[in-house]
């Protein structure tokens, strides 16, 4: 990241050229500040909501990476007592098969968030790549073909579309990732195409073309660095959508399949416990925990994206 | 031709093309089932004659385009084929029901739920949005904003279970299961549907309210509003008489868009509250891979969604004075 940042700064200010230019000197000073210093300066000016979001996201990543060491029991380990109450051994009790809820919550961070992340990444690779390609090929046959097919795909709600496709190909994790990634890449395509349309008309892109650069170079080195900020913000928002869609599908029983620990299906499996709220509040809270975990992460990501958008657009309210 | 009419016709055409592509995708869903389709549905023990008879019944021995036209004709005339469930594996005892019979009563239930949510949420969103714009940056505005931002980022089932916990488990105001019977009268239905409708309301109010507020605040910066302000018009007069008429187009668009979104929200909410609607039927059909039922439900959902979006498009075109009176 650091090296890449420096490169782009050098390129855009023409630092490599001989002779003095004011822009080069300004660029030099900016380049001298290291990446970690920049991050620190950014963090100091962040509003409390964004800091809260960052801390929550960091915690989720921590739990996802170290799940096997943090969880007191195994992901699919079954104990003789099902629906055990909250106790010292099973902090949040056990579920309908006698699996430890806390352990499944911790493994869920790895599975649910991990799958959502991979799906979003895939959606960005497909949608972003095609979107920029369409912008380079502005109003050519490829652009028209892609844009029209995206229009059609977007005319149907993605949850309904996902349900149709899942009934066609069968519900398993790989299909889930591919289907959601393709459906969501349409939204990414729109954004990527719209923002890169402003960039492809720039002189330096024209220069690269005249230089005889290949399509991939133009896409990756000339356009991508210049549309990064809106794409990064979009990544956060898309991640939320994908995360909620996967959670909803798993909740409906057609998403991530058992015995994989997953928050959406955990809510569904233990939902019946809510009826016992007046006798044992902790039992009623058991199905709420994974749902709250989902909600907390989306709220946190939204906070961070809000701050990032505010910062990168220079918007003042 | 008047440019407005041309644009509307273009949108209509695009909507029709979209529906056509959707129908192609839905139709091909049978083709994608792995292995021999008849065998898969009837089970391993089915006799070869039964499988052959089943294939003939579905018309699988006809060429593709003939089957598609046949299927499309059926869809348009309300004949959506028979459900796979209940089909006897050894011929003869065929207890499967036509998809349309399963769909029709559930569609009425779903429409009832969706319209109840719409009746509560649209006025509420408009009221909150306008007042938030009126008292901009006040504590009221901030708290409404924070609250809606939170509900917008929660999964529907979380909102639903929170409501069940608060309004059903503890206080027993509303029932947590909305399994309405066909012969319930209007008030009983409304009472049973209260919690699902409230969940849907909370989910869609946020977006509509934020758009209303943004549309009005966006206009507040324009010179004619400043003129009204200098003239000495009161703040509520400015918003209601000067800003709102120009803000209607984006507001109506976002309302129609959210009503279309209800179509999606309804699926999850119906499953949570065991509400006998189309969404639940579709989810059950997807789990059992009952393709004709999935096709029927999906067609209804897609058509509703496309129609509502088309409606939103058309309204935003015909309320836009710049398009109506081109220079």
Give the model confidence (pLDDT) of B223-242 as tens digits.
888 898 899 988 888 888 88
Distance from CA of B46 to the nearest CA of A (A): 22
Chain A contact present for B314, CB below 8 A: no
Q: Which domains are delineated in chain A?
A: 1-31 (no CATH), 34-312 (1.10.3720.10)
DSSP B16-34: HHHHHHHHHHHHHTTTTSS
Residues B116/B191, Cβ–Cβ less than 8 Å: no
Q: What string of pLDDT tens digits covers the 327 residues of chain B?
A: 677 788 888 888 888 888 888 888 888 776 666 555 666 666 667 777 777 777 777 666 677 777 788 878 877 777 777 777 665 444 444 566 788 888 888 888 888 888 889 899 999 998 998 888 888 888 888 888 888 878 877 888 888 888 888 887 777 777 777 777 777 777 888 888 888 899 899 888 888 888 888 888 888 888 888 898 899 988 888 888 888 777 777 788 888 888 888 877 788 888 888 888 888 888 888 887 777 888 888 888 888 888 888 888 887 777 766 666 665
Give pLDDT, residue A3: 47
- CB nearest to B271's CB, from A151, A252, A284: A252
Is the Cβ–Cβ distance between B50 and B90 less than 8 Å?
Answer: yes
Q: Do A163 and B283 touch (CB under 8 A)?
A: yes
CB contact under 8 A, A254 and B283: yes
Residue ranges of A 67-86 with Cβ closer than 8 A to chain B: none
- SS3 for B278? helix
Residues of A in contact with B17 (CB under 8 A): 152
Given an 8 Å threshold on Cβ–Cβ distance, is B285 in contact with A251? Answer: no
| Residue A47, C-beta contacts closer than 8 angstroms, at least 6 positions apart | A307
Q: Is any Cβ of chain A less than 8 angstroms from the Cβ of B35?
A: no
**Chain A, nearest residue to B271 by Cα:** A252
CB contact under 8 A, A160 and B22: no
Q: How far is CA B244 from the centre of its chain?
A: 27
Residue partners of A200: CB distance under 8 A and separation at least 6 = A135, A136, A138, A223
* Contacts with A302 from chain B: Cβ below 8 Å: 149, 152-153
> Is residue A249 a contact partner of residue A161, using CB atoms and an 8 Å limit?
no
- Chain A residues in contact with B306 (beta carbon < 8 A): 155-156
The answer to whether A234 and A191 are in contact (CB under 8 A) is yes
d(CA A244, CA A298): 8
pLDDT tens for A139-186 read: 788 888 888 888 878 877 888 888 888 877 877 889 899 999 999 999
> What is the DSSP secondary structure assignment for residue A66, as one 8-state letter?
T
Instruction: Give per-residue pLDDT as tens, B183-218.
Output: 777 788 888 888 889 989 988 888 888 888 888 888
Contacts with A177 (C-beta within 8 Å, 6 or more apart), sequence order = A115, A118, A119, A122
**Which of A160, A271, A287 lies nearest to residue B302, judging by beta carbons?**
A160
Residue A311: its pLDDT value, please?
A: 76
**What dihedral angle (degrees, nearest 10) is formed by the CA atoms of B307, B313, B319, B325?**
-130
Distinct helix (H) and strand (E) counts, chain A: 16, 0
Global pTM reads 0.81
A287/B161 CB distance under 8 A: yes
How confident is the model at residue B34, as a pLDDT?
56
A315 touches chain B (CB under 8 A): no
Compute the distance between CA of residue A305 and CA of residue A299 in angstroms, rounded to an integer: 10
**A90 contacts: CB under 8 Å, gap ≥ 6:** A79, A84, A100, A101, A102
Spatial separation of the C-alpha atoms in residues B60 and B46, rounded to whole Å: 17
B157, A251 contact by CB (below 8 A): yes
């Amino acid at each position: 990241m650091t090296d890449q940042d420096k490169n782009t700064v050098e390129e855009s200010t023409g630092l490599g050229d001989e002779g003095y230019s004011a822009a080069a000197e300004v660029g030099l000073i900016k380049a001298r500040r290291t990446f970690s210093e920049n991050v620190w300066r950014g963090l100091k000016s962040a509003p409390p909501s964004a800091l809260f979001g960052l801390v929550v996201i960091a915690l989720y990543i921590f739990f996802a990476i170290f799940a096997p060491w943090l969880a007191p029991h195994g992901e699919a380990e079954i104990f003789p007592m099902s629906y055990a109450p909250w106790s010292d051994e099973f902090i949040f009790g056990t579920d309908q098969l006698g699996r430890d809820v806390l352990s499944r919550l911790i493994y869920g961070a790895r599975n649910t968030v991990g799958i959502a992340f991979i799906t979003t990444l895939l959606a960005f690779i497909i949608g972003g790549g095609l979107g920029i390609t369409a912008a380079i090929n502005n109003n050519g046959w490829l652009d028209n073909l892609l844009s029209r097919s995206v229009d059609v795909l977007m005319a149907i709600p993605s949850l309904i579309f996902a349900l149709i496709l899942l009934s066609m190909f069968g519900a398993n994790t790989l299909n889930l990732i591919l289907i959601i990634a393709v459906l969501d890449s349409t939204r990414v395509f729109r954004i990527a195409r719209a923002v890169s349309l402003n960039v492809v008309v720039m002189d330096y892109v024209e220069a690269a073309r005249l230089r005889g650069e290949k399509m991939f170079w133009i896409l990756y080195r000339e356009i991508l660095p210049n549309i990064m900020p809106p794409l990064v913000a979009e990544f956060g928002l898309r991640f939320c959508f994908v995360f909620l869609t996967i959670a909803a599908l798993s909740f409906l029983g057609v998403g991530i399949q058992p015995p994989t620990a997953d928050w959406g299906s955990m809510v569904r499996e233990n939902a019946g416990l809510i009826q016992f709220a007046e006798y044992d509040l902790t039992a009623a809270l058991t199905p709420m925990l994974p749902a709250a975990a989902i909600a907390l992460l989306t709220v946190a990501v939204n906070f961070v994206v809000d701050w990032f958008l505010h910062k990168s657009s220079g918007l003042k309210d | 031709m008047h440019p407005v009419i041309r644009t509307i016709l273009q949108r209509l055409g695009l909507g029709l093309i979209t529906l056509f592509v959707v129908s192609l995708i839905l139709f091909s869903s049978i083709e994608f089932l792995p292995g021999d389709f008849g065998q898969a549905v009837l089970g391993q023990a089915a006799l070869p004659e039964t499988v052959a008879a089943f294939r003939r019944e579905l018309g699988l021995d006809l060429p593709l385009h003939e089957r598609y036209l046949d299927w499309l004709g059926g869809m348009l005339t309300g004949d959506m084929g028979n459900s796979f469930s209940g089909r006897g594996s050894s011929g003869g005892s065929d207890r499967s029901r036509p998809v349309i019979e399963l769909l029709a009563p559930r569609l009425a239930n779903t429409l009832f739920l969706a319209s109840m949510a719409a009746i509560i949420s649209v006025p509420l969103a408009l009221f909150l949005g306008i007042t938030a714009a009126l008292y901009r940056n006040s504590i009221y505005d901030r708290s409404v904003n924070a609250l809606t931002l939170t509900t917008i980022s929660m999964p529907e089932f979380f909102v639903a279970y929170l409501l069940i916990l608060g309004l059903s488990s503890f206080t027993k105001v509303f029932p947590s299961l909305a399994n309405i019977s066909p012969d319930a009268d209007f008030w009983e239905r409304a009472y049973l549907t209260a919690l699902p409708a409230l969940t849907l309301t909370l989910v869609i109010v946020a977006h509509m309210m934020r758009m209303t507020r943004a549309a009005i605040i966006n206009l507040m910066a324009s010179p004619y509003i400043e003129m009204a302000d200098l003239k000495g018009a009161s703040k509520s007069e400015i918003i209601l008489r000067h800003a709102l008429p120009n803000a209607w187009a984006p507001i109506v668009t976002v309302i129609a868009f959210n009503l279309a979104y209800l179509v999606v929200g309804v699926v999850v909410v119906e499953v949570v509250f065991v509400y006998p609607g189309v969404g639940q039927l579709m989810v059950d059909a997807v789990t059992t891979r009952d393709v004709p039922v999935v096709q029927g439900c999906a067609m209804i959902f897609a058509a509703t969604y496309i129609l509502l979006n088309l409606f939103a498009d058309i309204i935003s075109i015909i309320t836009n004075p710049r398009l109506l009176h081109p220079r």
